[in-house]
């Protein structure tokens, strides 16, 4: 379907072209998401910002996730999270929040995301 992240971003940008020059903000997650977001932002002539989220991985199998936490503390847990002890879940959440904060420092130099009302308005474009 896509040759690579660049191709995926270009195709997505073309699909969203009706938003070109509308002052939208493209949010992208690290790693491959930034490559895709950059291509979308170029096509839309839009601002690009990195947003950090972290998978909550099972102990001993961190590639399998039972949820996610975003840099703002937003949390999602799958029903399978109930298989873990609450203390394990809390420890993993704490570790991933710390890693998210570290990445905000590295990727954005602790620069905050745009205000929530700006993000909410941008998300409602039709």
Give pLDDT tens digits for 85-97.
999 999 999 999 9
Residue 121 lies in a domain: no
Alpha carbon 123 to its chain's center: 14
Does 39 lie in the same domain as 9? yes
Average pLDDT for 8-24: 94
32 vs 121 pLDDT, higher one: 32
Does 64 lie in the same domain as 39? no
Q: With pLDDT > 70 as the criterion, what percentage of the chain qualifies? A: 91
pLDDT class of 115 with cuts at 50, 70, 90: confident
Full domain range(s) for residue 20? 5-50
Pairing between β-strand 47-50 and β-strand 25-28 as defined by DSSP bridges = parallel
Does 61 lie in the same domain as 40? no
Does 100 lie in the same domain as 61? yes
Residue-by-residue DSSP string for 8-71: HHHHHHHHTGGGTTS--EEEE-TTHHHHHHHHHHHHHT-EEEE--EEEEEETTEEEEEEEEEET
114 vs 110 pLDDT, higher one: 110
pTM: 0.76
Residue 117 lies in a domain: no
């Amino acid at each position: 379907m896509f040759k690579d992240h660049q191709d995926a971003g270009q195709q997505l940008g073309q699909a969203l072209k009706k938003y070109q020059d509308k002052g939208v903000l493209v949010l992208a997650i690290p790693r491959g998401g930034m490559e895709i977001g950059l291509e979308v932002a170029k096509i839309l002539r839009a601002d690009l910002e990195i947003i950090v989220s972290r998978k909550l991985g099972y102990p001993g199998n961190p590639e399998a996730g039972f949820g996610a936490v975003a840099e703002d503390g937003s949390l999602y847990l799958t029903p399978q999270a109930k298989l873990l002890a609450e203390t394990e879940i809390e420890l993993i959440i704490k570790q991933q929040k710390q890693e998210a904060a570290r990445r905000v420092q590295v990727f954005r130099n602790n620069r905050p995301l745009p205000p929530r009302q700006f993000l909410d308005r941008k998300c409602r474009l039709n």
